[in-house]
Amino acid sequence: MKLRDRIKAKLPKLSKASTPEQIESYRKSFEAQVRAARAGVKNGDIFRAGVAAYIRKTLRTEFQGKDRAELRDIVFEAETQGVPLRVNYPYPEKNELSEMPATLLIKLPKLPKEVRYRFVGRNMLLVDRDNNLIIDYMVDALP
């Protein structure tokens, strides 16, 4: 987050009158600079073994019993086919974002407001809210 915030602080500020083109240019510049600064990052830098094990256990617990079908419907209803599982690459704008069910959010590790959990099939991603970069991912997070 510190790296991201330093990069964002150096970008020109957008005004309330910014055009959609200016906003898109800002987002692309932000994305490119964060990607360059994070060159060399790899899967598992954030979802380390202990964190991944905790999240998998939490998800396994939540995806049991009568609520399992409802949670699976929420998670798997989003059209996320074709989303690459690649750290430091953008989440494709054309793909739907699968929101994290609120019942799971309260049980998973709290994230900074700039980062969101996302599901792509059974995999869990951390995605930057402002520039759509995939920060990290964990395969087979869901049971």
Amino acid 37: pLDDT: 95
Read off the pLDDT of residues 31-75 as tens digits, 9 standing for 90 and up: 999 999 999 999 999 999 999 999 999 988 877 766 667 666 666
Residue range 83-107: mean pLDDT, rounded: 77
Domain regions of the chain by residue span: 2-9+18-138
Amino acid 75: pLDDT: 65
pLDDT top residue among 104 and 17: 17
- Other C-beta atoms closer than 10 Å to the C-beta of 116 total 19
The gap from C-alpha 108 to its chain's centroid, in whole angstroms, comes to 14
- Helices and strands of the chain, counted as H and E runs: 5, 3
Query: With 60 as the cut, is the pLDDT of residue 95 above it?
Result: no
pTM metric for this prediction: 0.83
pLDDT top residue among 21 and 102: 21
Determine the residue type at 75: V
CA–CA gap between residue 46 and residue 137 (Å, rounded): 8
* Rounded to 5°, angle at Cα 121 from 104 and 52: 55
